[in-house]
Amino acid sequence: MYDKSGNEIESMIGDTNLFISQDDCQEEFKSLAEAEIMIAEKQERGKNFGLEALCLIIEYGIKELNLEQFEAKIKCDNKPSIKLFEKIGFKESARSEVFDEITFTLAKDRFTVIENMIMSLSTNKKVIEVKV
């Protein structure tokens, strides 16, 4: 994620990642990705950059990589991240007391939440840019 200055190195405010794995433990073979996001620059938090970037990378995972499920592991005390992932349709699926984290899951039947969020973001902004 970059600001509009044009200098990608100096203007980077954070990053987002999909770590892809194949889940063959279940009856159905599913393509699964763990989603991560970080807004490193504190002054850029709370401006919906994280929401926009996360929606776009998940949309990319759905449409281009044919992913069927997403997970996110979030520390129990990271309220802003929990709120962000819940806002786009992730549901709590597990808790680890040992690691003090919550696992959230976004299954295929909830992908419409992401699609609606992207439509809402694109109508409120003139341009949504993606750097791949």
Pairing mode, strands 69-75 and 14-23: unpaired
The stretch 55-60 carries a mean pLDDT of 92
Q: What is the pTM of this model?
A: 0.79
The token pair that represents 108 in the structure block:
């295929």
Q: What is the pLDDT of residue 85?
A: 95
**How long a stretch of residues is the chain?**
132
Q: What is the pLDDT of residue 9?
A: 66
- CB–CB of 107/71 below 8 Å? no
In which residue are the tokens 């991560």 written?
A: 36
In which residue are the tokens 């439509």 written?
A: 119
What does the mean pLDDT of the chain come to? Answer: 84
DSSP 85: H
pLDDT value at 126 more than 90:
no
Q: Measuring CA to CA, how many Å separate 109 from each of 41, 44, 62, 68, 106?
A: 34, 32, 12, 9, 8
Distance CA 122, CA 127 (A): 7
